[in-house]
Amino acid sequence: MIADVKNWVKSSDSGFGKFCRGSFYAIKHIEMPVVPVLYKILFALHRSSKTIWHNTLQFIYFTPMFKSQVSGSKKRLTLQCGMPQVIGALAISLGDDVRMSGIATFCGRYHSDRIAKLIIGNNVDVGWQNAFSVGTKIELQDDVRLAGKVFLAGFPGHPLNCAERAKGKPDLPEQAGDIIIKQGAWIGTGATVLAGVTVGKGAIVAANAVVTKDVADFTLVAGNPAKVIKRVD
């Protein structure tokens, strides 16, 4: 019954049908008038209350909870937007003055004889939507900067053999490896660094680069696979 009425309103060429159709669209597109002074005040109140609530949650809940799960000195840790998701067996160590997005994921590969390690030094930025797959060890040395959506792929998660993948088998130990990001290096937005790679001191990895081999100190690399562009010392 209701569906028949809706179809009639949409398709009728009668005067009453057109009137109903016009009335429906007019009601559907009614907008609340904007009173500039009023809504500027409301927006300021909204933003202030949101900031206060966010900072309170970070201070009393998310930051101490995350600190309880990691080792290291971890002084003056700044977390934004909650706390990172930690998956699997993973030992995390934090230095001082780390700034970290809560919208990040740290995943540790299962080892029968040891626990994967994530080591973050002092004065390090871990950006929005970073994802770390820690195969054996990932180390971010002092003063490292990671932009948004950086992927440190220390293990692939699946074997190379398609029949083994179909059976749901895990990756092989030789597919996992350390990733070392040395002091002062900067990893750009959307970059991927693969297992076994060391990014040198003061090096820069350009946005969306895929780093498959070691990067020398004070070198800018870009592309897929990443290639040397120039020296930056």
pLDDT by residue (tens digit) across 178-205? 999 999 999 999 999 999 999 999 999 9
Residue 24 located in a structural domain: yes
Quote the strand ranges of the chain, DSSP E: 78-80, 85-87, 90-94, 99-101, 105-108, 116-120, 125-126, 131-134, 137-140, 145-146, 151-153, 179-181, 186-187, 192-194, 198-199, 204-205, 210-211, 219-222, 227-231
pLDDT by residue (tens digit) across 60-113? 999 999 999 999 999 999 999 999 999 999 999 999 999 999 999 999 998 878
Residue 57 located in a structural domain: yes
Residue 142 located in a structural domain: yes
DSSP 71: B
- Kind of pairing, strands 99-101 and 179-181? unpaired
Q: Are 110 and 142 contained in the same domain?
A: yes
Contact call for residues 232 and 218 (beta carbons, < 8 A): yes
Residue 13 located in a structural domain: no
pLDDT for residue 9: 67
Q: Are 167 and 202 contained in the same domain?
A: yes
* pTM of the full structure: 0.83
Q: Are 101 and 62 contained in the same domain?
A: no
Q: Mean pLDDT, the chain, as a whole number? A: 93
Q: Are 86 and 108 contained in the same domain?
A: yes
Number of domains making up the chain: 2
Q: How far does Cα 7 stand from its chain's mean position?
A: 46
Contact call for residues 209 and 228 (beta carbons, < 8 A): no
Walk across the sheet containing 90-94 and list its strands: 90-94, 116-120, 137-140, 179-181, 198-199
